[in-house]
């Protein structure tokens, strides 16, 4: 990893991520640390660690997590404007979490152009979200050249979405080998689409057992397609309870089909609130069916 922090700075960043995971859950530490308190926690950790106290660093991060992010932004901006590429990347993370996307892209791009692998991945992911796939692919390929497992996973997603399935599979496999926590689900889902259900199940179980709610949903769908309804329901419930809206809809479908209409309705309503695009239609059909039978 290239940047200006040195060994103590890298250790500090890892501690900050660990504390963030403990406080907010592992889903927050994804492609982004996309909440404002992350920046302030890092600043507080940096200040305390410079004084040599890990215990004080932990306490400082806990204070920072609930404080206003304005001071964090000021400090990251000072660092970024002074040419520190980690400061550029962290400022961009904070800005993106606050919805300031144009300036976030500016700082991700500045850090990426200065050679920071993490910023290359973050910029590529942001461009991919914006539908700018050509530029996204350019930066993700630069990031994977630096062995970024997250970038390997993101490049696999981009390639899968445009139909380059063989290369997408290769990058998902590399991301799994590199330790990316989201790659097992993505690899399993791709293999399932390709009809390789035995290996797909292996990777989806890996993802599910590691706590990936999307993996649980996809494993539940695969099991249900094979008629293994009891285990399918168990995984769909775990995923839905963890907040996955697609799993809520899929669980409701399963419950509807086995006649548990009241519970199916509840899960459809939850899925609608969660943003699933199919749940509204499914709920309407269920209500019409129930109305005809009343």
pLDDT at residue number 63: 52
Please check whether residue 58 lies inside any domain of the structure. yes
Greatest alpha-carbon pair distance for the chain in Å reads 71
pLDDT at residue number 291: 76
Radius of gyration of the chain (CA): 22
Helices 149-161, 117-129: crossing angle, 10 deg rounding: 20
Please check whether residue 19 lies inside any domain of the structure. yes
Strands (E) in 111-253, as ranges, are: none
**pTM as predicted:** 0.74
pLDDT at residue number 72: 86
Please check whether residue 293 lies inside any domain of the structure. no
Please check whether residue 89 lies inside any domain of the structure. yes
Q: Which residues have a Cβ under 8 Å from the Cβ of 183 and sit 6 or more positions away?
A: 149, 152, 153, 156, 172, 175, 176
Please check whether residue 194 lies inside any domain of the structure. no
The residue count of the chain comes to: 294
Cα–Cα dist 244/234, whole Å: 14
Q: Which residues have a Cβ under 8 Å from the Cβ of 109 and sit 6 or more positions away?
A: 119, 123
Please check whether residue 234 lies inside any domain of the structure. no
* pLDDT tens per residue across all 294 residues of the chain: 333 333 334 444 444 444 444 443 444 344 444 333 444 454 444 444 333 433 444 444 445 544 567 888 999 999 999 999 999 999 999 999 989 999 999 999 999 999 999 999 999 999 999 999 999 999 999 999 999 999 999 999 999 999 999 999 999 999 999 999 999 999 999 999 999 999 999 999 999 999 999 999 999 999 999 999 999 999 999 999 999 999 999 999 999 999 999 999 999 999 999 999 999 999 999 999 887 654
Please check whether residue 37 lies inside any domain of the structure. yes
Question: What is the domain range of residue 38?
Answer: 1-115
**Residue 261 CB neighbours (<10 A):** 16
| Number of domains making up the chain | 1
Please check whether residue 287 lies inside any domain of the structure. no
């Amino acid at each position: 990893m290239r940047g200006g922090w040195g060994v103590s700075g890298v250790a500090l960043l890892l501690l900050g991520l660990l504390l963030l995971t403990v406080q907010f859950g592992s889903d927050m530490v994804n492609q982004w640390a996309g909440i404002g308190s992350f920046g302030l926690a890092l600043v507080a950790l940096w200040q305390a660690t410079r004084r040599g106290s890990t215990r004080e660093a932990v306490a400082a991060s806990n204070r920072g997590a609930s404080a206003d992010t304005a001071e964090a932004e000021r400090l990251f901006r000072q660092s970024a404007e002074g040419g520190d590429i980690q400061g550029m990347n962290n400022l961009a993370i904070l800005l993106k979490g606050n919805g300031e996307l144009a300036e976030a892209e500016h700082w991700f791009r500045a850090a990426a152009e200065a050679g920071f692998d993490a910023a290359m991945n973050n910029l590529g992911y942001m461009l991919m979200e914006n539908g700018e796939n050509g530029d996204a692919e350019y930066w993700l390929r630069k990031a994977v050249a630096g062995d970024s497992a997250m970038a390997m996973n993101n490049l696999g997603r981009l390639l899968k979405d445009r139909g380059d399935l063989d290369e997408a599979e290769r990058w998902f496999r590399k991301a799994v080998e590199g330790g990316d926590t989201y790659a097992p689900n993505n690899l399993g889902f791709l293999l399932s689409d390709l009809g390789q259900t035995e290996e797909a199940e292996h990777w989806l179980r890996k993802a599910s057992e590691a706590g990936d709610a999307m993996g649980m949903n996809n494993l539940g769908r695969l099991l249900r397609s094979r008629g293994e309804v009891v285990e399918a329901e168990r995984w769909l419930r775990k995923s839905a309870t963890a907040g996955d809206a697609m799993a809520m809809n899929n669980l409701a479908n399963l419950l509807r089909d086995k006649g548990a209409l009241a519970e199916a309705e509840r899960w459809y309503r939850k899925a609608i609130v969660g943003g699933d695009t199919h749940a509204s239609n499914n709920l309407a059909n269920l209500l019409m069916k129930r109305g005809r039978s009343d």
